[in-house]
Amino acid sequence: MVHRKTAAFAGLALLLLLAGCAQVTVHSTVNGDGSIAEQTYQINMTRTAYGYLEEAAEEEGYESVEDSILSDLNETEREQIEYSEEYNGDTVTMTLTRTDFIPTADDGISVTTEDGELVYEDMNFVDEAAAAETETDFSQSITSGMSVDYYLTMPGEITDSNADVVDGNTAEWHESGSEAFNDNRIYARSEKPTFSMAPGFGPVSALVALLAVALVVLRRD
């Protein structure tokens, strides 16, 4: 399941089919109001695999892999994303970072409130049709080099999750092979802070605001 916006993050289906080897690392941090403070996708692949992406981008009329990946995004959405490529020997690392946004259906991610708790769900690594198929020796060989490491930070202590590791307000998922991209639902729910900071409203801003309120109260007294 590849959504329009997250083709820029988690899709890369062509790479996975042609190269059969991709290591994806995701870091996602959620604000108390349900928005995403920061989400980073880091995709490691061989130069050969990256070459497939370059060829595909050129055939589709794009000037670069970056243009191909971000092609479905409008100008505002593009401005929200930092994209970079790093070359180290035979490895190419693509990094995409998006900050301070409210996830929508197009993102494949939802953050909702249920029974006073925040519920986070990422369905970008779930392909129900592929998961239902019987794996052959060939398909197993193709997916053997795939992996997903997903790190989530919630604004409160996590109370329920299907993660491999949970520690306070953080959770981790580690999948490899076909399960990494076929049946890898990311789910966690956490306590919702009673005082939620809006995006960009950091500790310093909060302190200034509290001081301002205190001054108003003092003046009234």
Tokens of 74: 């409008």
Q: What pLDDT shows up at residue 150?
A: 95
Q: Residue 206: pLDDT band by 50, 70, 90 thresholds?
A: very low
Contact 125, 181 (CB under 8 A): yes
pLDDT: is 172 or 9 the higher one?
A: 172
Q: Is the pLDDT of residue 54 over 60?
A: yes
DSSP single-letter state for residue 115: T
pLDDT: is 38 or 77 the higher one?
A: 38
Domains in the chain: ranges and CATH: 5-220 (2.60.40)
Contact 14, 53 (CB under 8 A): yes
Q: Is the pLDDT of residue 14 over 70?
A: no
Share of the chain above pLDDT 70, in %: 67
Q: What pLDDT shows up at residue 184?
A: 75
Report pLDDT digits (tens) over 149-184. Answer: 999 999 999 999 999 999 999 999 998 876 656 667
Q: How far apart are CA 57 and CA 24, in angstroms?
A: 20
Q: Is the pLDDT of residue 202 over 60?
A: no
Q: What pLDDT shows up at residue 18?
A: 44
The C-alpha torsion from 77 through 78 and 81 to 87, rounded to 10°, is 150
Q: What pLDDT shows up at residue 108?
A: 85
- Rounded mean pLDDT, 86-96: 92
Tokens of 109: 């991610």
Query: Which position has the token pair 């946004």?
Result: 101
